[in-house]
């Protein structure tokens, strides 16, 4: 029996009452736009749906996960802070339009001067809104000497440690900035990233970029829990948009956390997790279920009968061993095991062609938001990397950490609190 199993704790313990009870501050708070304006994100969601860009928080965090992702990490190639701010303003204007289902500039794709490059690249011209959300973040490296931002680096935005068994590719890691585009049409997500990248010409360039599909975790109780490429339901116990108390405790940063410009923001961890699906597929059903700690069909935790039955880590089987094994994924990732820590996962499945040795280059592009990566993601990943039976089948090949600023007011721009 593990220590964690013996010591159930309240998730409230993690931050204590000061943090947990602190009110949100920040531009746009009065607008009251946040989780109450999200859409249902299910496959039946109307293609014409749009998600409001403005609000206390950026859209694309608790917004019910759309079906497709294009995520890009960019490096800033100028040392001119003014140019960076100018770009963030331009990006915000473009994002306002694109998330409303419009071109980057009015008539941009086809009605501009014929002797100038079009203001919009055009491939989304005939496509509906598709619930596009655009969410940006500032990477750890942005807070180096170049832009004088060192004093504004949040303590929560640590350099992630190298976890046991990490095999990180520098070309799939890091980045000064990130853009997360989610939509129910991949072409709409790609169009948005491409046009923001284009606006950044001379200021930023793409460092790495990842497409994903299949919503490996749901973020709303209105959504069915999707399945990852191990074939298991993923995100049953995820923080959901409806969990306002937990979101306040564990996702949204506050001014009291140390950097007032981050109030209403969050911290995003991106991890490219290669999954050795061919090896996994040769594991028995029983073995797979023991590794995950859940039943493959229903998604119920072992020892329970339905997907959303609460996990009970203390049930023992006939031989005296816990029914949910000590090295199973759900036990190690459980908030009960982790001193109450939870994270909001928002990852996507991916297949990036094949790996050159006969297998599919497949996996999970893990995206998670939390309030303090030091207290939430890092302890969780340390536990998983060290002990999770699933580690035999996965390998972390990319890693990045971003401070995701709060939402934007009608007249503001992305990250304005950091630069003003």
Angle between helices 186-199 and 81-98 in degrees, nearest 10: 150
**Minimum separation from the CB atom of position 83 to a copy of itself (A):** 16
Q: Considering beta carbons, is residue 365 or 419 the nearer one to a copy of itself? A: 365
What are the helix (H) ranges across 262-396? 277-280, 285-292, 329-332, 377-387
**Minimum separation from the CB atom of position 148 to a copy of itself (A):** 25
The C-alpha atoms of residue 5 and residue 326 are separated, in whole angstroms, by 9
The residue among 328, 325, 321 whose CA lies nearest residue 292 is 328
**Minimum separation from the CB atom of position 118 to a copy of itself (A):** 5
90 beta partners: none
Q: Considering beta carbons, is residue 150 or 359 the nearer one to a copy of itself? A: 359
135 beta partners: 180
**Minimum separation from the CB atom of position 112 to a copy of itself (A):** 6
**Minimum separation from the CB atom of position 52 to a copy of itself (A):** 23
Quickly count: other Cβ atoms within 10 Å of residue 336's Cβ.
20
Q: Considering beta carbons, is residue 78 or 121 the nearer one to a copy of itself? A: 121
Q: Considering beta carbons, is residue 56 or 367 the nearer one to a copy of itself? A: 367
Q: Considering beta carbons, is residue 19 or 118 the nearer one to a copy of itself? A: 118
E strands, 51-198, are 68-76, 133-139, 177-183
Half-sphere exposure of 241 (CA within 13 A, CB side): 25
**Minimum separation from the CB atom of position 411 to a copy of itself (A):** 29
**Minimum separation from the CB atom of position 351 to a copy of itself (A):** 5
Return the H-helix or E-strand segment holding 92. Answer: helix 81-98
Q: Considering beta carbons, is residue 158 or 351 the nearer one to a copy of itself? A: 351
177 beta partners: 74, 138
**Minimum separation from the CB atom of position 365 to a copy of itself (A):** 11
Quickly count: other Cβ atoms within 10 Å of residue 340's Cβ.
19
CA distances from 224 to 45, 183, 312 (A): 13, 17, 22
Q: Go through 90-127 and write b for each residue having 16 or more CB atoms within 10 A of its CB, e for each that does not.
A: bbbebbbbbbebbbbbeebbeeeeeeeebbbbeebeee
Q: Considering beta carbons, is residue 81 or 296 the nearer one to a copy of itself? A: 296
CB 250 within 8 A of CB 379: no
Q: Considering beta carbons, is residue 79 or 411 the nearer one to a copy of itself? A: 79
């Amino acid at each position: 029996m593990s220590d964690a199993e013996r010591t159930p704790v309240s998730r409230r313990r993690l931050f204590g009452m000061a943090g947990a009870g602190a009110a949100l501050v920040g531009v746009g708070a009065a607008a009251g736009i946040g989780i109450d304006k999200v859409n249902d994100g299910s496959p039946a969601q109307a293609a014409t749906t749009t998600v409001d860009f403005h609000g206390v928080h950026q859209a694309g965090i608790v917004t019910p996960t759309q079906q497709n992702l294009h995520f890009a990490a960019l490096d800033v190639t100028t040392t001119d802070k003014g140019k960076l701010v100018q770009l963030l303003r331009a990006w915000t204007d473009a994002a306002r339009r694109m998330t409303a289902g419009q071109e980057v500039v009015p008539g941009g794709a086809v009605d501009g001067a014929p002797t100038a490059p079009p203001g919009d690249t055009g491939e989304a011209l005939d496509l509906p809104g598709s619930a596009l959300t655009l969410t940006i973040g500032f990477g750890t490296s942005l807070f180096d000497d170049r832009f004088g931002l060192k004093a504004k680096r949040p303590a929560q935005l640590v350099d992630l440690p190298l976890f046991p068994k990490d095999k990180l590719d520098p070309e799939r890691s890091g980045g000064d900035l990130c853009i997360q585009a989610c939509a129910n049409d991949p072409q709409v997500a790609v169009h948005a990233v491409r046009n923001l990248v284009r606006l950044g010409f001379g200021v930023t360039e793409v460092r790495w970029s990842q497409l994903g599909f299949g919503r490996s975790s749901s973020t709303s109780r209105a959504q069915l829990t999707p399945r990852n490429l191990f074939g298991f339901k993923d995100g049953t116990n995820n923080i959901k948009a409806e969990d306002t108390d937990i979101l306040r405790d564990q996702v949204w940063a506050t001014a009291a956390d140390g950097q007032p410009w981050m109030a209403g923001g969050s911290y995003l961890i991106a991890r490219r997790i290669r999954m050795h699906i061919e090896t996994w597929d040769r594991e028995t059903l029983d073995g797979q279920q023991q590794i995950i700690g859940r039943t493959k069909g229903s998604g119920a935790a072992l020892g329970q009968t339905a997907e959303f039955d609460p996990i009970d880590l203390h049930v023992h089987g006939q031989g005296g061993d816990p029914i949910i094994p000590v090295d199973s994924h759900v036990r190690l990732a459980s908030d009960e095991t982790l001193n109450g820590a939870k994270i909001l996962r928002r990852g996507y499945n991916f297949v990036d062609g094949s790996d050159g040795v006969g297998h599919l280059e497949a996996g999970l592009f893990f995206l998670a938001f939390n309030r303090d990566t030091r207290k939430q993601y890092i302890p969780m990943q340390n536990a998983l990397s060290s002990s999770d039976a699933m580690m035999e089948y996965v390998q972390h090949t990319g890693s990045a950490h971003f401070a995701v600023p709060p939402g934007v007011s009608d007249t503001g721009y992305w990250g304005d609190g950091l630069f003003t």
